[in-house]
């Protein structure tokens, strides 16, 4: 079935969980007999009934949001060399992988009640995608920007091609098509309902397999394959609709590119902690430095502003080539300590998989087990309320394997054992810089980072000085030992109480010198 045929179907049929849903033209031959669960009103009623039973038993499934119609956003340039990394097949391959490994039910409808009774959390639970409303989009975007994206529907093919030629270069890096607007609305709406289902306890956690991605989109402009910034829109909706149970939100962005749009939307917000792990290359790696020098980029030194100071954390690598060792170190040294101190009500992962091993665009080497371990650590926060929203990732095999690892972890499988390589020295220096910049705002970042001049200005004492003074007093009381003056003024304070002698030192013919580590 051609993708244009999906355009003619209604929302229920176009949904990947519905009847006759295509896995793409290349799969038509082997999917004719497949029927996914929840494919009609009766099936949907069964969902609600079963879900109520799960609530009473304290068992909740993992949610999954997917809709074929998001594949309708495609490049208007149909020339032989028009291939673009933000390919409609990205979400298709992920969802196909979910089905292949048994995360999504594909069997007969009649078997479902028995399966749910025996194992309520065996399969992912359907979260239907729906278009975001204008009001929801405008919680994060200007009305002018919404109107610009909406206008794409009215343009001719020639106009769309010309616009793509204009935008698909440099920092904008965007292609447009006649279905870009409805697909972008579905992507944002899918993120919204994924997060809402997690917040309200309809599911324990969820994965939104959505496109076009969002984290580069600014409040007033599209950018970097992105039209609407899905995660900020979803976070704003949840904070607005559920202020009592969703006040503080952690957004963890592990896409290889800095999420400039998310950063700028929450830069002065004290209730949203944004942590981005990305390649920075001194501002040379995409998205690079913004045209306005007053706008912060992905540099480590940019920590937020106003009431939101300390709530923006950039872990920017010096170069590509980072892998499991660097990402696990970032999580253990920076991400998790700060996240626990922040204590969020909801965790949203901006899950780009372009840092995955095999993605040539990202040039990094993060493995599926590493993504699983990072997900597992984040699941210890916010009572396990974790919503994963797809961002980038352009190698179809790498993105599918990584997404499956994350989904399996969300569903309760323990992460695979992994060998952690040695930490890159430059990456270690970057993590130390992050700690230093964030130390004024987070207790967990402070040990060991106060320098001596700052200590003196605070009239503070170093711990080893306190210990040595106590040792001097003890040795003086027991053995009448006294400190020996070091006759160099610039060294005296450093070695005070470090050299102790008995009173008969000058009269003794034999000396016993004991040297030991402090």
CA distance 163 to 172: 11
Give the residue ranges of DSSP H helices in 335-395: 336-342, 368-378
Give Cα 193 to chain centroid, integer Å: 18
CA distance 150 to 211: 17
Residue 495, classed as helix, strand or coil, is: helix
**Residue that has been written with the tokens 């899918």 in this structure:** 190
CA distance 22 to 373: 32
Classify strands 312-317 and 346-351 as parallel, antiparallel or unpaired: unpaired
CA distance 222 to 146: 10
DSSP state of 416: P
Structure tokens at 285: 């790696």
DSSP state of 332: I
CA distance 52 to 18: 22
* Beta-carbon count within 10 A of 225 CB: 25
Q: For residues 234 and 191, is the Cβ–Cβ distance under 8 A?
A: yes
249, containing H or E segment? strand 249-253
As a whole number of Å, the end-to-end CA separation of the chain is: 76
* Beta-carbon count within 10 A of 289 CB: 16
- How long, in residues, is the chain? 518
CA distance 199 to 194: 9
**Residue that has been written with the tokens 């074929």 in this structure:** 68
Classify strands 482-483 and 500-501 as parallel, antiparallel or unpaired: antiparallel
In the residue annotation, 6 being an active-site residue is answered as: no
Following DSSP, what letter does each residue of 182-237 receive, concatenated?
HHHHHHHHHHHHHHHHHHTTSSSEEEE--SS--TT-BTTB-BTTBSS-HHHHHHHH
Task: Check the CA dihedral 14-351-263-274 and report its sign.
Answer: positive
The 3-class secondary structure across 440-459, one letter per residue, is CCCHHHCCCCCCHHHHHHCC
Q: Which of 92, 215, 216, 278 is catalytic?
A: 216
**Could you give the angle at the alpha carbon of 386 between the alpha carbons of 385 and 388, nearest 5°?**
155
* Beta-carbon count within 10 A of 73 CB: 25
> Which sequence positions are flagged as catalytic?
216
């Amino acid at each position: 079935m051609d993708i244009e045929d999906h355009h003619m179907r209604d929302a229920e049929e176009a949904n990947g969980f519905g009847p006759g849903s295509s896995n793409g033209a290349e799969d038509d031959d082997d999917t004719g007999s497949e029927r996914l669960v929840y494919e009609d009103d009766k099936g949907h009623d069964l969902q609600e009934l079963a879900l109520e039973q799960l609530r009473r038993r304290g068992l909740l499934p993992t949610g999954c949001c997917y809709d074929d119609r998001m594949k309708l956003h495609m490049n208007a340039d149909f020339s032989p060399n028009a291939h673009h990394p933000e390919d409609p097949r990205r979400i298709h391959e992920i969802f196909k992988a979910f089905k292949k490994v048994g995360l999504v039910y594909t069997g007969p409808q009649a078997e479902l009640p028995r399966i749910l009774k025996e194992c309520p959390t065996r399969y992912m639970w359907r979260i239907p995608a729906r278009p975001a409303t204008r009001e929801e989009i405008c919680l994060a975007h200007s009305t002018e920007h919404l109107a610009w994206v909406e206008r794409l529907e009215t343009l001719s093919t020639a106009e769309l091609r010309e616009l793509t030629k204009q935008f698909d270069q440099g920092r904008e890096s965007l292609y447009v098509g006649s279905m870009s607007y409805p697909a972008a609305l579905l992507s944002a709406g899918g993120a919204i309902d994924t997060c809402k289902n997690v917040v309200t306890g309809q599911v324990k956690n969820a994965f939104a397999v959505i496109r076009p991605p969002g984290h580069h989109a600014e409040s007033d402009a599209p950018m970097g394959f992105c039209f609407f910034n899905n995660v900020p829109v979803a976070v704003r909706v949840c904070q607005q609709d559920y202020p009592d149970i969703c006040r503080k939100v952690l957004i963890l962005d592990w896409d290889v590119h800095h999420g400039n749009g998310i950063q700028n939307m929450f830069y002065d917000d004290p209730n949203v902690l944004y942590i981005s792990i990305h390649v920075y290359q001194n501002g040379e790696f995409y998205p690079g430095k913004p045209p306005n020098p007053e706008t912060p980029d992905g540099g480590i030194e940019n920590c937020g502003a106003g009431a939101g100071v300390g709530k923006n954390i950039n872990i920017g690598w010096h170069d590509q080539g980072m892998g499991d060792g660097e990402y696990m170190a970032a999580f253990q040294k920076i991400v998790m300590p700060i996240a626990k101190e922040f204590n969020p009500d909801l965790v949203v992962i901006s899950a780009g998989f372009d840092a995955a091993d095999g993605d040539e665009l990202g040039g990094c080497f993060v493995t599926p087990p590493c993504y699983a371990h990072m997900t597992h650590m984040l699941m210890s926060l916010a009572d396990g309320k974790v919503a994963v929203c797809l961002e980038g990732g352009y190698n179809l095999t790498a993105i599918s394997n990584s997404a499956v690892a994350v989904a399996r972890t969300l569903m309760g499988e323990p992460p695979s054992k992994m060998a952690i390589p040695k930490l890159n020295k430059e990456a270690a220096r970057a993590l130390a810089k992050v700690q230093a910049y964030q130390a004024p705002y987070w207790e967990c970042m402070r040990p060991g980072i106060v320098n001596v001049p700052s200590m003196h200005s605070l009239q503070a004492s170093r711990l080893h000085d306190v210990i040595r003074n106590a040792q001097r007093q003890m040795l003086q009381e027991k053995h009448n030992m006294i400190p020996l003056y070091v006759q160099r003024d610039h060294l005296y304070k450093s070695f005070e109480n470090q050299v102790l002698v008995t009173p008969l030192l000058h009269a003794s013919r034999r000396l016993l010198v004991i040297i030991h580590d402090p």
